[in-house]
Amino acid sequence: MTFHGTAKWGAHATHDDHAAHGHNDHAAADHGHDDHGHDHTPHESPLSMLIPIILLSFGAIFAGFFFVEKFVGEGRNEFWKGAIFNAPTNQILEHAHHSPTWLLWLPLVVSTGGLLIAYYVYILKEGWGARIAARKGLLWGFLYNKWYFDELYEATFVKAAKVLGDLFWKGGDQKLIDGLGPDGVSAVSLNLGKRMGKVQTGYVYHYAFVMLLGVAGLLSFALWAWQA
């Protein structure tokens, strides 16, 4: 889409592009700025950027070829040292180096297949991608939402962790520990104090009546004990 197909700028831009960006463009033109006079037509980068990119591209393409012995060859032990601490004698690298031929070619085949499909959809049949997206089918939704990985993560880990946290917090900490511990003791003490406070009316005849009941009870106990 970057180097082929219909141009996405200037007079070649589609109506949708104009609708999406027209407001900003007109606003800039009305103010006489036009994005400070910058040219939006694609152009090659200057040499100050091209030269480092070319040098980096050589390393990206040929580094594996030149340093294969360091990575998985005779010098791998000295190169990796303790970096791969969970693979003594670098068995993982050794197995990867001797993987089946079809497995080694699989990434290239899949990448090439994806490239051909993208070329057909976006170049040979330009506009198919937009029409497929507009239908919002099941496959499009599955891929657009990244295999619903975020939703799956939310349902299995985030919500499960929240439920588990609420269980230990509200059930274990608040109801069990605090409920039977400091909160429970203080609540019992408060309720007992309120009930006992109702007995303290402040009237002398109430206190005298209670004392009389106490004396009567004490005499009754003394008589029962003396007869026994």
**pLDDT single digits (tens) 149-159:** 999 999 888 98
Structure tokens at 101: 């031929």
- Can you give the pLDDT of all 228 residues of the chain as single tens digits? 777 777 777 665 554 444 444 444 444 444 444 445 455 677 788 999 999 999 999 989 998 888 888 877 777 777 777 776 655 555 666 777 778 889 889 999 999 999 999 999 888 988 888 888 888 888 888 888 889 999 999 988 898 889 888 888 877 777 777 777 777 778 778 888 887 777 777 788 778 888 899 899 898 888 888 886
Give the residue extent of every domain in the chain: 111-144, 146-208
Beta carbons of 14 and 8 less than 8 angstroms apart: yes
Global pTM? Answer: 0.40
What is the C-alpha separation between 196 and 202, in angstroms, rounded?
13
The per-residue b/e assignment along 173-191, b for 16 or more CB within 10 angstroms, e otherwise, is eeeeeeeeeeeeeeeeeee
Q: What is the distance between the terminal CA atoms of the chain, rounded to a whole angstrom?
A: 112
Beta carbons of 67 and 73 less than 8 angstroms apart: no
What is the C-alpha separation between 71 and 75, in angstroms, rounded?
7
Beta carbons of 6 and 130 less than 8 angstroms apart: no
How many other CB atoms are found less than 10 A from the CB of residue 76? 19
What is the C-alpha separation between 139 and 172, in angstroms, rounded?
44
Residue 192 identity (one-letter amino acid): L
Beta carbons of 72 and 94 less than 8 angstroms apart: yes
Structure tokens at 138: 């099941």
Return the percent helix, strand and coil in the chain, to nearest 5.
80, 0, 20
pLDDT, residue 33, reads 45
Q: For residue 140, which phi and psi values (nearest 5 degrees)?
A: -60, -45
How many other CB atoms are found less than 10 A from the CB of residue 163? 9
What is the C-alpha separation between 161 and 43, in angstroms, rounded?
51
Given CA atoms 221, 222, 224, 225 in this order, what sign does their dihedral have?
positive
Structure tokens at 227: 């007869």
What is the C-alpha separation between 147 and 141, in angstroms, rounded?
8
